[in-house]
Chain A
Amino acid sequence: MADESPRRAAQPIGYALHVSEREIARRKEFLEFGEADVETLRALNDAAVRYADPVIEDLYRHFLSFDETRTFFRDPKVLERVKRLQKEYFLRLTRGDYGSEYVTDRLRIGTVHESIKLDPKWYLGAYNFYLRSVAGRFQEAAGGNAKKALSDFLSLMKLVFLDIGLAVDTYIHARELTMRKQQEAIRELSTPVLQIRERLLLLPIVGVIDTQRARLITESLLRAIRDNRAKVVVMDVTGVATIDSKVANHLLQTVTAARLMGATVIVTGLSSDVSQALVQIGIDLSKLNTAGDLQGGIEEAEKLLGYRVVPTLEAGAKDSHAA
């Protein structure tokens, strides 16, 4: 659970989740974790120190009997170090002072779990194992006073749930960061504007178009029109699987904006399904220049720009004939 090398711990965790003092207080309030609980836990510290080692041994025997968790402890040296840190983690539960320093420490550990890909299920399972193995020992420590043992245990539960809440937050936070990074990467990849001839741009659109992406596509196209002094743009939508009225309107806006800058847009690659769907939903695309496929679009664009593409062989034959 508390796997972390000293090297890793020394590294600042760049995207640490911040939990404010107020937020901590609020969470404790909701758990009804008060001063009495702090006192109870602190009083348990001696007992905790006594049973820490056997509990750890039990827990790691459990870890090592499952393939999924065993993989984290292949190296005996790592195992020893992790056990030590694990013990520290558990002893921290009964040391009192559960302020921002405590929270920061717990958040850091959650981030480490995420970075080594220890899934929440193993974390939660291990915590549950810990609780079960200390429950009996609480009873022994209370000298058969079942009521006290239970109330001690409930105080511990509150703190454990605070821990779990923080850990779950770090998991979610880390996943969200990953998702955001990937979305950005996809977005950057997905809006290339290519010049294929002097004054002729190609805009291949692949994938799903939402409002935000349509905006990015339009902006990068308009910038490219200005920078390349483009007069014709071939917009290929072969890679767009479905076009609904919203997407069609985005595309129309892009075409209109390009026209405002003096460029003509030719749309290519509207499949039969997409075309039929557009007609069905009654979107007026009559103002649009279209060509059946990309080749047709480029030929049309070349005509508009006054290019004529002639195979070199044919051209050579004509030249020699003329000579």
Chain B
Amino acid sequence: MDRLSLLSVLITGLVILFPALLSLGIRIIPGQMQPSLGTTERIYSTSVVTETFTASRNNLNGIGLSLKNPNYQNKQNVVVSLFSEEGELLGESTVNGVSIPDGDFIKFIFKPVEESRGKNFVFVLSSVWSQDSDATEVFYANEQVTNSQKLLNGKIPCLSKSSDPKVSMIDPKNNPGCTLLLLENSKKANVSYVTFYKSTNPFLAIQEIYLGWWDRLYADKSFFITYLLIVTGLVGSLVLFRRSKSN
């Protein structure tokens, strides 16, 4: 094989294998694409947003949100708390405002919930030490839809009255002295978020990526056939060229 053929094989191999190599760097798998961004909501001491979702995979271990923080104005902790359907706190992840660039997509990662697939969860985004004036803002999805499933089992987020206030989910009928935090907006709008799941086997991720790649290529049938013909035509011409040269 001459140098150019070798180089072509190398480049072709790289094109095909590069996604596999890069897949090894995927530690968390997104559950869905992030919906496009719309309006924002300020997050501070008495203002939180909540979102209810059903996990699409096992090992739920993160929530990604787009946050606004012009000139790093917020320097307080921003917390995502994950609750089960029953209101039990399953995980918490904190990112400080000093490391939230304006408009960045921030991943809040917590310990994986192993058997999460098909179960309902609530996450609450809060920042109890922030003030309205220096609040970070979370982006809602562009298309706002009424979501009657915002609250699970009638529970809503509240802030405990203590020196170290914590967000928890409570039944408002049986309020044990919490500050209720639910915003009116949060009932109407959907937060633009992404759920993340820990990848336990990198080879499964590679397999999923290649199968998805193939499926989408094959789904566009007329292009798939044309593309296959072009590639086959070029390879065939090369083989014919080689044969005619050797004769």
**A and B are interacting partners:** no
A residues whose Cβ falls under 8 Å from a Cβ of B: none
